[in-house]
Amino acid sequence: MARLIDAGPGCPTPTPLRGTAVAEETGLAYDESVKAKTDHLYPLVSDFITPMEWPAVAPLVAAINDLKAEKNAVILAHNYMTPDIFRLVGDFRGDSLQLAREAANVDADIIVQAGVHFMAETSKILAPSKTVLISSLEAGCSLASSITGQDVRLIKERYPNYPVVTYVNTTADVKAECHITCTSSNAAQVVEAIAKEWNSDTVILVPDQYLAKNVAAQTDIRIMTWPGACEVHELFSADDVEALREAHPGVVILAHPECPPDVLESADFAGSTAALANYVKDESPAKVVLLTECSMSDNVAAENPGVDFVRPCNLCPHMKRITLENILECLTEMQHEVTIEESVRVKAKAAIDAMLALPKMENPLAFETGLAPMEIEVISPS
């Protein structure tokens, strides 16, 4: 079994404490029918859910899976979902790029996005005929809220000769104003492709200044950016990496490219959430730390029982808004439907399609680590 090693100050987990009271409140009982539907699922989460908690969780899982079948719904679950959602009710799991590709092709009437709001918007942009639901309207993202469509219009007025790439962590309004989207799986590929198409030596990559700086270190293209940041990943520092190496000799340190550049400089490997999961699977390091959101370690640990995980945990409060309880409620009530004005959707789709039309890579692109951080121009919002 993978060992989860707590490596320092924990973070408050807003996941509601479950007990039989929850099941009673929802009118769901842990009866023979629920047991028959869920007994085989418990081993998938037994490292995270105690036998005492399971009678409260199992009825929710059974009810959600029944409703999905009844309503022809699928759940797209991001790698940052808690293991109960990720492993027990998620139909498709992955990073932002994988979930966007699934949304474009999925054969269902309803998509429930187990992720944050911009991900649900991406699904709606790509699958307009489907009903897209998100179980909490509070599941935002500090990157998505750092920039508006009007900001991008002003950027384009100021720099009309440079293509504007938006990280997929933005609203539909922002995507609609940009020339192409990228994710952390393909950012360098997108930047180089759009620079070539525009015959430009400079590309504007918004809104994540750290992702942009990390991409700049990987390419000869000049990159300008925007002062946005992920509130989870910006908390990691090179000092953390040093402290982890001291406390856990031999630990392999993996980082998400939303981390500041000095973190990538001192990490052993960097990439999207899917790239990090692939690394652990392929390399089976004895002891590993993922410098990213907390639940990622839970989910990757569950699939790699021989690997020990050190966990300097930073939690995304937005991702944690999504719970089994509110997924059940949103599917039951068909509430929190994501809608996008058609003129915006069509323009945003063009930016996503431009990304999806690039040659599909077999694996997400890794970010080279050990590179000196690059200073790049950060566009002032005023």
* Contacting residues toward ligand SF4, per CB under 6 A: 116, 141-143, 169, 230-232, 258, 293, 316, 318-319
- Residues 6 or more apart from 44 whose CB is under 8 A from it? 83, 87, 88, 302
Q: Which two tokens stand for residue 29?
A: 């009982």
Q: How far is the CB of 320 from ligand 13P (least distance, A)?
A: 13
Helix%, strand%, coil% for the chain, nearest 5: 45, 15, 40
142 binds, among ligand SF4, ligand 13P, none (CB under 5 to 8 A by kind): ligand SF4
Q: How far is the CB of 70 from ligand 13P (least distance, A)?
A: 30
Q: How far is the CB of 350 from ligand 13P (least distance, A)?
A: 20
| Contact between 104 and 128 (Cβ < 8 Å) | no
User: According to the binding rule CB under 6 A, does residue 169 interact with ligand 13P?
Assistant: yes
Q: How far is the CB of 22 from ligand 13P (least distance, A)?
A: 28
95 binds, among ligand 13P, ligand SF4, none (CB under 5 to 8 A by kind): ligand 13P
User: According to the binding rule CB under 6 A, does residue 79 interact with ligand 13P?
Assistant: yes
**CB nearer ligand 13P, residue 96 or residue 113:** 96
Q: How far is the CB of 124 from ligand SF4 (least distance, A)?
A: 17
**CB nearer ligand 13P, residue 184 or residue 304:** 184
Q: How far is the CB of 95 from ligand SF4 (least distance, A)?
A: 10
Residue of 170, 184, 209, 304 that binds ligand 13P (CB under 6 A)? 184
**CB nearer ligand 13P, residue 116 or residue 251:** 116
User: According to the binding rule CB under 6 A, does residue 183 interact with ligand 13P?
Assistant: yes
Adjacent-strand bridge partners of 166: 181, 206
Q: What is the DSSP string of 268-323?
A: SEE--HHHHHHHHHHH--SEEEEESBHHHHHHHHHH-TT-EEEE--B--TTGGG--
Question: Any idea what DSSP says for residue 369?
Answer: P
The total of other beta-carbon atoms located within 10 Å of residue 250's CB is 8
The total of other beta-carbon atoms located within 10 Å of residue 41's CB is 19
CA–CA separation, 211 and 220 (whole Å): 15
Residue of 61, 81, 95, 147 that binds ligand 13P (CB under 6 A)? 95
- Which of 337, 185, 330, 210 is closest to 261 using CA atoms? 210
Residue of 170, 214, 218, 272 that binds ligand 13P (CB under 6 A)? 272
User: According to the binding rule CB under 6 A, does residue 273 interact with ligand 13P?
Assistant: yes
User: According to the binding rule CB under 6 A, does residue 209 interact with ligand 13P?
Assistant: no
**CB nearer ligand SF4, residue 68 or residue 318:** 318
Q: Report the relative pairing of strands 164-167 and 110-114 from DSSP bridges.
A: unpaired
CA–CA separation, 78 and 262 (whole Å): 26
Q: How far is the CB of 204 from ligand 13P (least distance, A)?
A: 20
Q: How far is the CB of 233 from ligand SF4 (least distance, A)?
A: 6
Instruction: Tell me the residue ranges of DSSP E strands in 196-265.
Output: 202-206, 222-225, 252-255
Q: What is the DSSP string of 55-108?
A: HHHHHHHHHHHHHHHHHTEEEEEETTS-HHHHHHT-SEEE-HHHHHHHHHH---
Site size toward ligand 13P, by CB under 6 A: 10
Restricted to residues 230-259, the positions that interact with ligand 13P (CB under 6 A) are 230, 258
Q: Using CB under 6 A, list all residues that contact ligand 13P.
A: 79, 95-96, 169, 183-184, 230, 258, 272-273
